[in-house]
Amino acid sequence: MCCNTQDAYSVVYKLIAILYILLCNVAYAQECTPYKSPKNYLLDNNKSAAIGYVACLHAAGVVAEVGYDRMFVGVLAMGDGHHGATYSFLQYEIPYGRSRMYIGPAYRLNHNSSLLIGRAGFDYRLYRRIYSSASVLQINRNLNYLHVGVKIIL
């Protein structure tokens, strides 16, 4: 009984596929380790994060922001004097020597959510990563809040 040529071709194709797989596994180094390398959590100079304590005449609050290359997004949460109002903001930073100035639109997240006129501020470096902070949150034409405090920028 003689071999069929179609069977011979399929055997040759299978052998070529097996040799190719073996060649790929032998020719390239495989990294076989059960341990995963740790991720790099270092921020480069373009990335930044900050957290701060701010207060106005009748309430205290916390501000947190993260940013990349002069654009920042953040949250300002105020205490009982503002009835727990929370604001989000988008701001553009302008570095100036030991200080940074910023401006951008704001949005009230709770208590009749709405788009506000905006937020502008100034941070001045006191020591290394510790900054003094002053900002104005403009709610409407007749109402604004001046917040002052301390901020740590990472």
In order, the DSSP letters of 97-124 are TTEEEEEEEEEE-SSS-EEEEEEEEEEE
Residue 137, CA distances (Å) to 5, 56, 89, 95, 118 in order: 84, 11, 10, 20, 6
Is the confidence at residue 126, as pLDDT, over 90?
yes
List, in sequence order, every residue forming a beta bridge with 3; answer none if it has no partner: none
At 68 the pLDDT is 87
Instruction: Look at residue 40 in the predicted model and tell me its pLDDT.
Output: 67
* Residue 132 to residue 149: CA distance in whole angstroms: 6
Q: Does domain 47-153 have CATH number 2.40.160.20?
A: yes
Q: What does the DSSP assignment read for 19-84?
A: HHHHHHHHHS-----SSPPPP-----TTEEEEEEEEE-SS-EEEEEEEEETTEEEEEEEE-GGGTT
Mean local confidence (pLDDT), 88-107: 92
Average pLDDT, the chain: 84
Query: What pLDDT is recorded for position 79?
Result: 87
Reply yes or no on whether the pLDDT at 27 is more than 70: no
Would you say residue 43 has pLDDT above 80? no
Looking at per-residue confidence, does 75 or 33 come out higher? 75
Please state the domain extents for the chain.
47-153
Question: How far is residue 92's CA from residue 77's CA, in Å, rounded to a whole number?
Answer: 20
Find the mean pLDDT for residues 63-79.
Answer: 91
Q: Is the whole-model pTM more than 0.85?
A: no
Is it the case that residue 3 has pLDDT exceeding 70? no
Is the pLDDT confidence value at 151 over 90? yes
* Percentage with pLDDT > 70 across the chain: 83
